Chains A and B, each alone.
Chain A
């Protein structure tokens, strides 16, 4: 396997883009990334997307986006792993270049959620779970997280304000981020006084609904940022079958494998983009990525260690909570953001002297975990 580098990165602002279609959004990010990358040609296209089938009645995104980009003749495909589609697409693209099969490939993550009613979006997100026995109960993706949130607070005596601190810090980090959907501060008090989405999870502890696209060009030509490792692991699909639902086993497995492959330990990591679709999933992730002991994640966060100037900068552009969570595109946003940090192009969100960053992207309640580690050269 040969080293793979990130040659070009582009992001669209996340929001309600009423005037832009799924295709427009993808093209906006992809064309910008291609311009920046200056590669001779693209050998393959990977489109990361979760919801175009239920939300736009659109499948066949590989050929559709290749056509829109004028990339005829190359292999093109959609990669879908629910909310982890972006991370898994980056992984597949990385493998294709690392293997020597392709020299330069384009990954574009795109999601357009504002076309549908919130009710339809919730049903689309619930498609990440088994339809016959999980979604059948009427539980939502936030509802499943809520079961874990309550268990966590009971078992580890974590306080609501300690868990909610992750959302407040993420919002703090999004201030000044040009592509963030919610670039403003929100206090822990305000978060905990927002209406319940699924008890004990408040509305302001959940990521929102947004449109966005992010694109990356991966290449074998030497560049400034290398993909030190990308891994994917899956867990028991049913929460009811996991021996301990508060352990995200897929995160443990994928991150352990990624650290080994990159030849590093969690201590060597300078910044993290977490999959904080809800605050509790972000907290459990911090623990299972190996940064904090199980049960101490919420306290670690509330002590401010994950601030941009803290011990372990987390969600440096706002994370899923404040940057936004256009589900199928989110994993590509995360990797793009780490690359921007390592290139020193993070603007007001810049973390000083970062060399190694990790992105964690999850599908369902961590039924799929994708880990990407980037390193600056």
Chain B
């Protein structure tokens, strides 16, 4: 992994920064040059909701290169509370506890390592919400 390629995504991956379309109001993630729904080019940076609901999920048994030591792990399609959708690993959960409708929150985690001398990549993952009393 080249350092600039990693570095240029840091803001968006570390803080869950997306974009708001000034024309149709869609929340867009990841960032891009025009709204994929209406084509508008006036997009404003915005913070995404850090909480959401699982729409669907799977357990990756056979991972791609770089993710071997995490397997098996859960990947879910999540609808954030602001309406945007995001694909993410769900951690701190056993596969048996996963279900559609599970409430989850964003958390900052290690994603993968580039060998023993390369950079360590971080980013968002989600975890089940444990409600306060």
Q: Check if A and B associate.
A: yes
CB of A195 closer than 8 Å to a CB of B = yes
Interface string of B71-82 (1 = CB under 8 A from A): 001011100000
CB-based nearest B residue for A122: B64
Kindly state the separation between the CA atoms of A282 and B61 in the bound complex, as whole angstroms: 22
Chain A residues with Cβ below 8 Å from B58 are 139, 143, 146-147, 150, 198-201
* A138 x B59 contact (CB < 8 A): no
Instruction: Name the residue among A120, A135, A238, A245 with the largest chain B CB count within 10 angstroms.
Output: A238
Interface string of A323-361 (1 = CB under 8 A from B): 000000000000000000000000000000000000000
CB-based nearest B residue for A200: B58
8 Å CB contact of A137 from B28, B55, B85, B89: B89
Kindly state the separation between the CA atoms of A245 and B70 in the bound complex, as whole angstroms: 27
**How near does chain A come to B110, taking the closest CB pair, in angstroms?**
12
* A136 x B64 contact (CB < 8 A): no
Chain A residues with Cβ below 8 Å from B85 are 240-241
CB of B111 closer than 8 Å to a CB of A = yes
CB of B25 closer than 8 Å to a CB of A = no
CB of A101 closer than 8 Å to a CB of B = no
CB of A220 closer than 8 Å to a CB of B = no
**Contact status of A198 and B57, CB under 8 A, knowing A122-B65, A137-B89:** no
Kindly state the separation between the CA atoms of A132 and B29 in the bound complex, as whole angstroms: 12
8 Å CB contact of A150 from B29, B57, B86: B57
CB of A197 closer than 8 Å to a CB of B = yes
* A196 x B59 contact (CB < 8 A): yes
8 Å CB contact of B64 from A119, A200, A241: A119
Chain B residues with Cβ below 8 Å from A142 are 62
Chain B residues with Cβ below 8 Å from A122 are 62-65
CB of A239 closer than 8 Å to a CB of B = yes
CB of A18 closer than 8 Å to a CB of B = no
Near A by CB (< 8 A), chain B positions 50-107 give 55-68, 70, 73, 75-77, 84-89, 95, 100
Kindly state the separation between the CA atoms of A154 and B99 in the bound complex, as whole angstroms: 11
- If over half of A's interface residues share one DSSP class (helix, strand or loop), that class is named, otherwise mixed; here it is helix
CB of B42 closer than 8 Å to a CB of A = no
Chain B residues with Cβ below 8 Å from A245 are 77
Interface string of A234-245 (1 = CB under 8 A from B): 001011110001
- B: number of interface residues (CB 8 Å): 37
**How near does chain B come to A310, taking the closest CB pair, in angstroms?**
31
**Contact status of A151 and B60, CB under 8 A, knowing A132-B9, A138-B73, A239-B77:** no
Kindly state the separation between the CA atoms of A158 and B105 in the bound complex, as whole angstroms: 30
CB of A215 closer than 8 Å to a CB of B = no
Kindly state the separation between the CA atoms of A195 and B86 in the bound complex, as whole angstroms: 28
CB of B30 closer than 8 Å to a CB of A = yes
Chain A residues with Cβ below 8 Å from B73 are 138
8 Å CB contact of B56 from A151, A195, A236: A151
**Contact status of A199 and B95, CB under 8 A, knowing A143-B58, A147-B57, A245-B77:** yes
CB of A133 closer than 8 Å to a CB of B = yes
* B65 x A143 contact (CB < 8 A): no
**Contact status of A123 and B64, CB under 8 A, knowing A133-B87, A138-B89, A241-B36:** yes
Kindly state the separation between the CA atoms of A122 and B63 in the bound complex, as whole angstroms: 7
**Contact status of A137 and B65, CB under 8 A, knowing A147-B56, A150-B100, A151-B56:** no
**Contact status of A133 and B30, CB under 8 A, knowing A119-B64, A123-B65, A138-B60:** yes
**How near does chain B come to A51, taking the closest CB pair, in angstroms?**
13
Chain A residues with Cβ below 8 Å from B111 are 136, 138
Chain A residues with Cβ below 8 Å from B70 are 138
Nearest 10 A-B pairs (CB), nearest first? A146-B58, A240-B85, A138-B67, A123-B64, A199-B59, A147-B56, A123-B65, A122-B64, A139-B75, A198-B58
- Interface residues of B, Cβ cutoff 8 Å to A: 9, 13, 28-30, 36-37, 55-68, 70, 73, 75-77, 84-89, 95, 100, 111-112, 123
- Interface residues of A, Cβ cutoff 8 Å to B: 118-120, 122-123, 126, 130, 132-140, 142-143, 146-148, 150-151, 154, 195-201, 236, 238-241, 245
12 more contacts with CB within 8 A, not counting A136-B13, A196-B61, are: A120-B65, A147-B58, A147-B76, A147-B77, A151-B56, A197-B61, A198-B60, A199-B61, A201-B58, A239-B87, A240-B29, A241-B28
Q: What are 17 pairs between A and B in contact, CB < 8 Å?
A: A119-B63, A119-B64, A122-B64, A123-B66, A130-B30, A136-B13, A137-B87, A140-B63, A143-B58, A146-B58, A147-B57, A147-B75, A148-B56, A197-B62, A198-B58, A201-B58, A238-B30
